[in-house]
């Protein structure tokens, strides 16, 4: 038996072992990418307003008061009241700039309190979502749709994406290294050169992970698609 | 080259592949145990009372109204109000039978509303936890300690434990196959022949996993200790 034959056998054995391991743990893939960590930010409940809805509620365009981590995004001086069939939430943050359509992002906990059956969606994807009533001190607006539970996601620049070996819209599993460690699966990667590296989770996810501002995320697997350095499916 | 030499090479290759896989994913182990799923139950906020506290609050011992999934445990007719420095929660369930010490189990969301800095603990482990005020229509009790966020855990009989290849107090990682799939790490296994197989999570964990009554858990790795069928630590 010559060296070439031995190498062929070895390759066959390695392939077979790797395949078996993948079959035994179909949702676990061994990702050989970066061990770089990702800052994890908690998105508390908030509202994005269209220009028309902002004027209806406040009689004027939105007033920036503080910049947010994603470039161009800001917290506004204005606050709104959310009115649902079962409950009310006051003093809810409004984020700018104004968008084409108003959108309300709440947690599942909030959804139960308000009595609104909000689906888990990526920001901007509000077709056939429930509506809500927004109120200020001086105005009221009824949204026909726009209430979502924001799906967890990671903002990345193209340089970040290349480093992590992931592509826009790809899903990854991320380990949060908090007091109650968890791996969040199906976290959507969103790539845009205006984005600053940050993972966004909601308060329910934060509470169940024992989140604090120091908690970091680590990509432990890529669910498929364009990712490289990927062992299984 | 004879058969023995080939086998030696193969063993070397397999060992090398397994080591590489383990190194690349240090917290992921390939568990070859049962693929059996575990029912997942949501523990809403509730109170266990000592006999003395029950009598102080209600003037009589607790009144069973419905059996719970764990044999011998029951929901009581009685309800209490939780009073914290920042908030109040009404109509909170009381579970029986009476215990040596009263204990209040809430979620992190509840803890924020009440203004109580409750730690994540296993049930019964209440040393140096915060206190709270309990009230009924007719009585009031101040607890010096006993408020916890119940750590996620799995109840198992010894037969279950043998089937899953785990031991009492061992920690496992469990994948919850809900709308927002997650792997909860450091889930404590509690083995007792009076236990019925069930995993208990809190409402924050349920919300972040997209829990409903049909959601099942699957043990995907064992964190160490007496587990068998385990590839890496």
* ipTM rounded to 2 decimals: 0.80
Measure the CA–CA gap between A196 and A66, rounded to whole angstroms.
17
Residue position matching structure tokens 């800095």: B117
pLDDT at residue B37 is higher than 60: yes
Q: Which helix (H) or strand (E) holds A76?
A: strand A74-83
| Average pLDDT estimate for A5-33 | 63
> Of A100, A117, A150, at which residue does a domain stop?
A150
Task: Indicate which CATH number applies to the domain containing B185.
Answer: 2.40.40
Q: Is A36 contained in some domain?
A: yes
- Least CB-CB distance to B9: which of A10, A184, A202? A10
Q: What pLDDT score does A10 carry?
A: 74
pLDDT tens across B20-32, in order? 665 555 444 455 5
Would you say residue A20 lies in a domain? Answer: no
**Do residue A110 and residue A205 come from a single domain?**
no
Q: Which residue in the set B181, B204, B220 is minimally distant from A25, CB to CB?
A: B220
* Mean of per-residue pLDDT scores for chain A: 89
d(CA A85, CA B98): 38
Of A30, A120, A202, the CB nearest to B21: A30
Contact A74, A65 (CB under 8 A): yes
Over pLDDT 90: what percentage of chain B? 79
Please enumerate residues of A whose Cβ is less than 8 A from a Cβ of B: 1, 6, 9-10, 13-14, 17-18, 21, 24-25, 27-28, 30-32, 107-109, 120, 151-152, 173, 175, 179-186, 202-205, 207-210, 220-221, 231
Q: Which of A126, A150, A174 is the last residue of a domain?
A: A150
Q: Give yes or no: residues B175 and B102 share one domain.
A: no
Q: Which residues of B touch A24 (CB under 8 A)?
A: 30-32
**Is the residue at B53 inside a domain?**
yes
Domain check: are A138 and A51 in the same one? yes
Both A120 and A176 in a single domain? no
Token pair for B223 = 């964190």
First to last CA, chain B: 36
Which H/E stretch holds residue A156? strand A153-156
Residue B18 resides in a domain: no
Are residues B156 and B146 located together in one domain of the fold? no
Which tops the pLDDT comparison, B58 or B34?
B58
User: Which structural domain range is residue A214 located in?
Assistant: 28-41+152-223
* Residue A14 forms part of a structural domain: no
Domain limit, last residue, from A150, A172, A187:
A150
Do A35 and A81 belong to one domain? Answer: no
Residue A32 lies in a domain: yes
Do B194 and B134 share a domain, yes or no?
Answer: no
CA A226, CA A210: separation in Å to the nearest integer? 32
Q: Are residues B50 and B139 in the same domain?
A: yes
Whether A158 and A202 share a structural domain: yes
pLDDT of residue B227: 37
Asked if the Cβ–Cβ distance from A25 to B31 is below 8 Å, we say yes
Q: Are residues B98 and B34 in the same domain?
A: no
**Is the pLDDT reported for residue B138 higher than 70?**
yes
Q: Is residue B1 part of a domain?
A: no
B35 in any annotated domain: yes
Instruction: Tell whether A137 and A63 lie within a shared domain.
Output: yes
Q: What is the pLDDT averaged over residues B121-136?
A: 97
Say yes or no: B49 and B142 in one domain: yes
Domain count, chain B: 2
Confirm if A203 and A41 have CB atoms less than 8 A apart.
no
Show which residues on chain B lie within 8 Å of chain A, measured between beta carbons. 1, 6, 9-10, 13-14, 17-18, 21, 24-25, 27-28, 30-32, 107-109, 120, 151-152, 173, 175, 179-186, 202-205, 207-210, 220
């Amino acid at each position: 038996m010559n060296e070439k034959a031995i190498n062929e056998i070895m390759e066959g054995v390695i392939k077979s072992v790797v395949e078996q391991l993948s079959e035994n743990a179909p949702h676990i893939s061994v990702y050989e990418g970066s061990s770089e960590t990702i800052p994890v930010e908690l998105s508390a409940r908030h509202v994005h307003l269209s220009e028309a809805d902002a004027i209806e509620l406040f009689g004027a365009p939105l007033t920036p008061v503080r910049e947010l981590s994603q470039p161009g995004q800001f917290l506004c001086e204005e606050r709104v009241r959310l009115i649902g069939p079962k409950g009310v939430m006051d003093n809810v943050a409004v984020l700018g700039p104004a968008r084409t359509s108003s959108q309300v992002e709440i947690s599942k906990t909030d959804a139960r309190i308000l009595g609104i059956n909000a689906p888990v969606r990526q920001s901007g994807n509000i077709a056939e979502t429930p509506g809500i009533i927004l109120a200020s001190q001086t105005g009221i607006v009824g949204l026909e749709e726009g209430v979502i539970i924001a799906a967890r996601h990671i903002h990345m620049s193209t340089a970040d994406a290349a480093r992590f070996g992931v592509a826009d819209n790809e899903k990854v599993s991320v380990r949060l290294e908090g007091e109650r460690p968890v791996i969040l699966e199906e976290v959507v990667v969103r790539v845009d050169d205006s984005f600053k590296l940050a993972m966004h989770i909601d308060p329910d996810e934060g509470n169940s992970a024992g989140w604090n501002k120091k908690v970091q995320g680590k990509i432990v697997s890529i669910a498929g698609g364009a990712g490289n350095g990927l062992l299984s499916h």
